[in-house]
Each structure stands twice: as structure tokens, then as C-alpha cells.
Amino acid sequence: MLLYKPKFWDYKKSNFLSSLLLPFSAIISISNWINFLYYKKKFKIKTICVGNIYVGGTGKTPISIEIFNILKKFKVKSVFVKKNYFKHKDEIRLLSKIGPIINLSSRIKSIAYAEKKKFESAIIDDGLQDKSLKYDLKIVCFDKKNFIGNGKLIPAGPLREKIDSLKKYDIVFLNGFGKLEKKILLEIKKINNKIKIFETIPIIINKNKIRRKKKYLIFSGIGNPSSFKDLLYKENFKISKSITFPDHYNFSSSDISRIKDQAKLLKSKILTTEKDYLRIEKENRKGINFIKIRFKIYNKKELVKLLNK
């Protein structure tokens, strides 16, 4: 069952519900500690893991794509690796449009297969919490606006691991709109002074194909739906209504019919994200537009150096 992200996860002040759930967060903390003790398998192929410690909506898939494109430019034979979860079919489809992807039942099997097929680099989209693997490069993505939310572990907060886990990682990406607060940079560097930090902003690459003078009913089922709305407002889109679904939501024919009926009443066009569009059955896609985004990476030359080490 897919659930909406609790609002209190991003409250900066103490919250009753969050405090009530803290004992359950202790279970996650113990589990993380036990996982850390596991034997970690190392492969000959270069492994680059792009993940997060904040659950959903941090931009890890667009960053995985940017890394693939950088390596491709330098003629590095790369492949995406994604664990075969049914709810992640949208991300698998999105990545497969960019390059080859291996999505077997486990990451170990997928990376072993990539090595067998003579790929030089494996980009693992999600998997930082898979402690059975030793990665060559470990990348953590955050949304600039939410960062670590209330700073608590699931279910009291949005974190899969404590912020202190950054001491084990190599690179941080701070994605999305908004001013990058100096205190965030200081907090990260206090935990790991050697970690490299990159800032990005999202860019719509197909906006010339979308008529911005029209009104739009927008809908999405992504980890951070406010980022979608913020991006459209930034690009001066006119939004008549916004509908939010749980992350990785699979749209039924009746869902799409209701969306189209509401858009008709509002005399609006329909707009969604590319990930959501890929979760709509092909016969239901007529009349629905989607935005394609990529991330502009600041100080990209420094990232290129790190990837080519």
C-alpha cells in the first residue's frame, strides 16, 4: 500500500506525533548498526551508488542520468543498476530511455552480470542502505528545501539513516530551487570535512513544446510533489489546480478519467512529470502533457575529475 508522506516529517520544531513514534525509530537505528557489520562484496567494475538518506524526492534518478551522460562523453561503457521492485517501474523505464539497465532480483546479481558483460562502470540508482556491497563512490542526494526534515529516523521522521552517516560517504548533491543556506553546508562539513558538495537546479528541457499561456491542471505521484509545482511557477506556468498522489502511484483508468473530467470543467490542459507519465497506461495518455527535466550542476568540472579518478 502506498502512503502519503506525513507533513510533520518536515516540521523543524518538535511534534507530538513524531515524539510518539521515536521508539519505533530506535528499531531502524539498531537495524542500520547490524547491517553495517555485514561482509561487503567488492567488484572489479567501478561502482557508483547514487542514493539518499531522506526518503524520496531528492533527485537521485536525475543525478544518476547526469553521471551516465558525463561518463558517456568520456567513452566509459556504463550501465544503470536498479533493484527490481515493482513500484520502481517508472524509474526503470526512465533510465532505460537513457542507456542500458540491469534490474535483477538483487544488486549483487546485477553488478556481477554487468561485470560479465564487460561494462566499465555501474551506476546504482538507490542502494546506499544495501550494506552487502562496497561501492567505489557513494553519493547522497538531498532536496535543498527539505534537507533532513525534522532530522529523525523513520517513522518519526523522513530519514533512513542518521545525518552522521555522511561520514561514510564521498559526495553530497543539494538539488532543487531555493537559496542554499550556509548552515547546511557547515553541518555537512562538520560531519565529514572531506566530502565534496555539489549544488544543482532543475531545468525543463522540453518547455518549448508546452504552451505556457494555457492554464494547466497538474498532477503527480512523486516523493516531493512541491518541487514539481515550484518548478512550474518558476517557469511562469498558469496552474488552475494541483492534485497529489502517493509516491510511485500506479494510475488506474478511472483516476485518469477523473483528472480529464476536472481539467475539462476548469478549461485547462493537463500536465504531469515524466515519471508519472510513464506510469500511465498507453491507451490513457492522450491529452496529457509531461515535462522532461535535467539538473544543471554547478562546478561540474570538479565532478568530472572525481568520476574519472
Task: Calculate mean pLDDT across residues 204-210.
Answer: 93
Task: Give the pLDDT of residue 29.
Answer: 83
- Model confidence pLDDT, tens digit, residues 236-252: 999 999 999 999 899 99
Architecture of domain 207-291 in this structure: 3-Layer(aba) Sandwich (3.40)
- Model confidence pLDDT, tens digit, residues 174-198: 999 877 889 999 999 999 999 999 9
Query: What is the residue extent of each domain of the chain?
Result: 36-202+296-307, 207-291
Task: Give the pLDDT of residue 251.
Answer: 96
Residue 178: CB atoms within 10 A of its CB come to 14
Q: What is the DSSP string of the chain?
A: ---PPPGGGG-SS--HHHHHHHHHHHHHHHHHHHHHTS--B--SSEEEEEE-SBSS-S-HHHHHHHHHHHHHHTT--EEEE----GGGHHHHHHHHTTS-EE--SSHHHHHHHHHHTT-SEEEEES-TT-TTB--SEEEEEEETTTTTTTSPBTTTSSBSS-GGGGGG-SEEEEESSS---HHHHHHHHHH-TT-EEEEEEEEESSGGGS-TTSEEEEEE-SS-HHHHHHHHHHTT-EEEEEEE--TT----HHHHHHHHHHHHHTT-EEEEEHHHHTTS-GGG-TTEEEE-EEEEETTHHHHHHHHT-
Statement: residue 304 has pLDDT above 80 = yes
Kindly tell me the sign of the dihedral angle through the C-alpha atoms of 181, 183, 187, 190.
Answer: positive
Burial class (CB in 10 A: 0-12, 13-18, 19+), 11: middle
Task: Calculate mean pLDDT across residues 17-40.
Answer: 80
Task: Give the pLDDT of residue 74.
Answer: 96
Task: Give the pLDDT of residue 282.
Answer: 95
Tell me which CATH code domain 36-202+296-307 carries: 3.40.50.300
- Model confidence pLDDT, tens digit, residues 72-93: 999 999 999 998 876 778 899 9
Task: Give the pLDDT of residue 257.
Answer: 98
226: left (phi over 0), alpha (psi -120 to 50) or beta: alpha
Task: Calculate mean pLDDT across residues 127-141.
Answer: 94
Q: Do domains 36-202+296-307 and 207-291 have the same CATH topology?
A: yes
Task: Give the pLDDT of residue 39.
Answer: 65
Confidence of residue 13 (pLDDT cuts 50, 70, 90): confident
